[in-house]
C-alpha cells in the first residue's frame, strides 16, 4: 500500500472569489480540505492525496456531485485524506467552499 494521488478537473464553473481556506483535521477516518483561488478560466481543479487505495471511482463520483452542487470555478481544492467515508468527504467539501466564499450578502 502506498499513498495515492488523484486529480480531477471540471470545466465551466462560475468564477468564485474567496480567501484561501483550510478546514478539517487529518485524523484517522477524517480529512483536511484546502481551497485556494486559481486562474483557471472558470475551471475547478481538485487534488487528492489519500492512504486508502483503490477508491478512484468513488472519489470521481463524490467530486462530480460536489461540482454539480456548487459549480465553483477558478479554485484549486487540495485534499489530504486518512480514510474518510464519502459522506464525510462531501460534508467537508461543502464546508470548505462555504467558508471560502465567506458571509454571503442576502
Residue ranges binding another protein (CB under 8 A)? 1-3, 20, 22, 25-27, 30, 32, 34, 36, 49-51, 78, 80-82
- Closest separation in Å from C-beta 11 to another protein: 24
The dihedral of CA 87, 19, 16, 44: what is its sign?
negative
- Closest separation in Å from C-beta 1 to another protein: 5
- Closest separation in Å from C-beta 61 to another protein: 21
- Which CB sits closer to another protein, 54 or 68? 54
Please, which residues have CB within 8 angstroms of residue 58's CB and are 6 or more apart in sequence? Answer: 86
Helices and strands: H and E segment counts in the chain: 2, 7
Amino acid at each position: 500500500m502506498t499513498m495515492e494521488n488523484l486529480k480531477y478537473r471540471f470545466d465551466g464553473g462560475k468564477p468564485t472569489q474567496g480567501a484561501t481556506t483550510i478546514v478539517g483535521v487529518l485524523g484517522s477516518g477524517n480529512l483536511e480540505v484546502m481551497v485556494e483561488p486559481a486562474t483557471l478560466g472558470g475551471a475547478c481543479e481538485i487534488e487528492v492525496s489519500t492512504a486508502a487505495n483503490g477508491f478512484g471511482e468513488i472519489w470521481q463520483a463524490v467530486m462530480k456531485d460536489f461540482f454539480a452542487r456548487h459549480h465553483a470555478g477558478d479554485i484549486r481544492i487540495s485534499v489530504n485524506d486518512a480514510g474518510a467515508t464519502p459522506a464525510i468527504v462531501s460534508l467537508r467539501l461543502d464546508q470548505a467552499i462555504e467558508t471560502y466564499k465567506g458571509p454571503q450578502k442576502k
